[in-house]
Amino acid sequence: MRDPNKKRRWRLTPPRVLVCGFAFIILLGALLLMLPISNADGKSLSFIDALFTATSAACVTGLVVVDTGTHFTMFGQIVLLTLIQLGGLGFMTMATMFAIAFRKKISLRERLILQEAMNQGTMEGIVRLIRKVIGYALVIEGAAALLFFVRFSYDMPIGQAVYYGIFHAISLFNNAGFDLFGPITGPFSSLTSYVGDPIVNLVAMFLIISGGIGFIVLSELYDYRRTRRLSLHSKVVLSTTGFLIVVGAVVIFIFEFTNTKTMANMPLMDKIWASFFQSVSPRTAGANSLNIPDMRQASQFFIVILMFIGASPGSTGGGIKTTTFSILIGAVLAMTRGKEDIVMFKYRLAKDRIFKAVTLTLLALGLVLSVSMILSTTEDQEFLAILFEATSAFGTVGLSMGVTPELSAFGKVLISLTMFAGRLGPLTLAYALGPKSERELYRHPEGKITIG
């Protein structure tokens, strides 16, 4: 007998729409990347490699099994750039942009999906926020593309400098980490040839940070001169982001200062640029100005921690997010001081925020450790390199210790799924794949368990 509630239980809720939408974009991108016109050798790319690359682009990660600049034609690179923009801003954001352009009314259901996509707690002002998101993205990417063009024009023909400026501005703002420098400085070289270049470093870091702090924060910063106020969310994001960047730069500077394979022979200013860039990039851009496999294990493991934390809510980045990290640190401090509440900037946090932060962190930790354990069985690589790869995929970072091109077919599929889960978020996937929760009609009696 047919269950009358089955159809209702499996209807397309906002989280399921996001999952299905991203899956469709990835599959379409993979099919386009398989075409001979997308590949420089004129041959078809294997489905597994195309699926991996499309997933990495749509999930704005940057892990690659083939070098973007040397393997793909301009058509293939534009396919990747489109996937990056769709994945970074969100396909619902782009769909809303076209709806606004054609004066189409945004339905309640579409607003609910946008609320889920932007990680908002309310639908109020969601369409206005989308307009701002699109505006900020175009202005920031356009300005950065112009600055990159001016700098790159000294190293390459004008036409190529224009194209490189646009590609890398979009890639870095969306925290994707794809680059085209393979034909110039060698495959998988990223920004290593610009390690001490102040213009490239400043523009790239600005793009990564502005794309990673989230559009809510960007909006409040833009309006600050008029409102003279920032929300608690923005204060926590900005303070945590600043703290992690400075601490990360100091730690990497100390660990790599005497490393002859990375920074030992660099001038002091180049060391400072490299330290800051490698502190910013794991949050979750994936570009690198130092060769990651040559870094000390202490630096590599520290980067794993930065990648796991990731960017901020409502941004183009992944990870457990800076706000989640702040809540966890706040909980530890409150417990050790004997406080009952977590207080930030004179505001007490609600209990449900704390439970959500703990749940998200444990789900993320479970995912990264599970993927690492499986890959340590299927791949012939050192465990730190595998842990680095799994965390990079979950955090949609794109940094690698050289493992990605050597992954088995199973490893590529597993990392692709990890990137997919990291971009959507473990909680969104859990809501999308799990049954609809029902309100409990009673509460159990309280019990106590000894801890510590």
In this prediction, residue 76 carries a pLDDT of 95
Q: What angle do CA 324, 325, 326 make, to 5 degrees?
A: 90
Tokens of 440: 């409990």
Closest alpha carbon to 318 in 307, 332, 334, 331: 307
What is the secondary structure of 396-436 as a DSSP string?
A: T----SS-GGG--HHHHHHHHHHHHHHHH-HHHHHHHHSPP
Measured from the Cβ of residue 36, the count of other Cβ atoms closer than 10 Å reads: 12
Q: Is 368 exposed, middle or buried (0-12, 13-18, 19+ CB in 10 A)?
A: buried
Q: Is 49 exposed, middle or buried (0-12, 13-18, 19+ CB in 10 A)?
A: buried
In this prediction, residue 438 carries a pLDDT of 59
In this prediction, residue 26 carries a pLDDT of 92
SS3 343: strand
What is the secondary structure of 247-310 as a DSSP string?
A: HHHHHHHHHHTT-TTTTTTS-HHHHHHHHHHHHHGGGTT---SS-GGGS-HHHHHHHHHHHHH-
Average pLDDT over residues 290-304: 94
More confident residue, 110 or 374: 374
Residue burial 93-121, b: 16+ Cβ < 10 Å; e: rest: bbbbbebeeeeeebeeebbebbbbbbbbe
Measured from the Cβ of residue 206, the count of other Cβ atoms closer than 10 Å reads: 17
Distance of CA 65 to the CA centre of its chain: 18
Q: Is residue 8 pLDDT above 60, yes or no?
A: no
Q: Is residue 175 pLDDT above 60, yes or no?
A: yes
User: What stretch of H or E contains 347?
Assistant: strand 347-348
**Which band of pLDDT confidence, cut at 50, 70 and 90, is reported for residue 49?**
very high
72 strand-pairing partners: 39
Q: 116-153: per-residue pLDDT in tens?
A: 555 555 555 666 777 777 888 889 999 999 999 999 99
Peptide bond into 258 cis (omega under 30): no
In this prediction, residue 5 carries a pLDDT of 52
More confident residue, 101 or 346: 346
**Which band of pLDDT confidence, cut at 50, 70 and 90, is reported for residue 449?**
confident
Q: Is residue 315 pLDDT above 90, yes or no?
A: no
In this prediction, residue 60 carries a pLDDT of 86
In this prediction, residue 1 carries a pLDDT of 46
Measured from the Cβ of residue 250, the count of other Cβ atoms closer than 10 Å reads: 13
Helix residue spans in 122-231 (DSSP H): 126-152, 158-173, 182-185, 198-212, 215-222, 224-227
Q: 354-385: per-residue pLDDT in tens?
A: 888 898 899 999 999 999 999 999 999 999 99
Q: 386-412: per-residue pLDDT in tens?
A: 999 999 999 989 899 989 999 999 999
Do the Cβ atoms of 133 and 93 come closer than 8 Å?
yes
- Residue at token pair 């041959």: 43
Tokens of 49: 């490699």
Q: What are phi and psi of 317, to 5 degrees?
A: -100, 175
- Residue at token pair 């990673």: 212
Euclidean distance between CA atoms 355 and 361, whole angstroms:
10
Q: 180-230: per-residue pLDDT in tens?
A: 999 998 888 899 899 999 999 999 999 999 988 888 888 888 888 888 889
